[in-house]
Amino acid sequence: MASHAVIARPYAEAVFQQARDSGSLAKWSEMLALAAALAVDPQIEPLARNPKVGEDEFTQLLLGICGDGLTEEGRNLLRLLVVNDRLVALPAIAELFEDLRAEVENTLEAEVVSAFEMDNQQIKRLAALLEDKLGRTVELTASVNPDLIGGVIIRAGDTVIDASLRGRLKGLSSQLNL
């Protein structure tokens, strides 16, 4: 069977095109996040594979759980994915959609992991530096990992900047063949 990303790409591109044309990128992000969370719920998969639960019954259950969180277009996508047995691809569809949205909106999600808690001013300064370096608007989230000893590790898309003391010690150790 093809990977979920391969299956998800045409769906994500079609949804993205529809969302962009209708000016509803943010709404589709919300709907896909909701549907993707539902698709990976450990209580849902057994129902999807249960031969005693009919396709229509399963679809109605999903739509009922989503409630007003989906527009009619979102409901149609969910129906289509159930009919084509592609519900498992929903998390990948949501991820690819977000990648397409970030590209068109020229934004990038980045994460900074530091040895110590960073205050808001430090986070804002770091985000501004990343924006200058990457030429995109950066949405930065911060977390703490005391194992770093000092410094930070920044992940922004495919870019990883390891400016941690632990990373520097590992680099020094490998140069000295320890």
Domain count of the fold of the chain: 2
* Residue the block writes with tokens 């495919």: 158
Whether pTM > 0.75 for this model: the answer is no
103, 131, 150: which is the final residue of a domain?
Answer: 103
* Residues 120 and 147 reside in one and the same domain: yes
Contact 84, 2 (CB under 8 A): no
Q: What pLDDT is stored for residue 51 in this prediction?
A: 85
Q: What pLDDT is stored for residue 14 in this prediction?
A: 96
* Residues 17 and 54 reside in one and the same domain: yes
Q: What pLDDT is stored for residue 174 in this prediction?
A: 83
In 10 A of CB 5, how many CB atoms?
A: 13
- Whether the CA torsion 100, 102, 109, 68 is positive or negative: it is negative
Residue ranges, the chain, pLDDT below 50 = 1
Domain that holds residue 27: 4-103
* Residues 92 and 16 reside in one and the same domain: yes
Q: What pLDDT is stored for residue 1 in this prediction?
A: 42
**Rounded CA separation 41/8 (Å):** 18
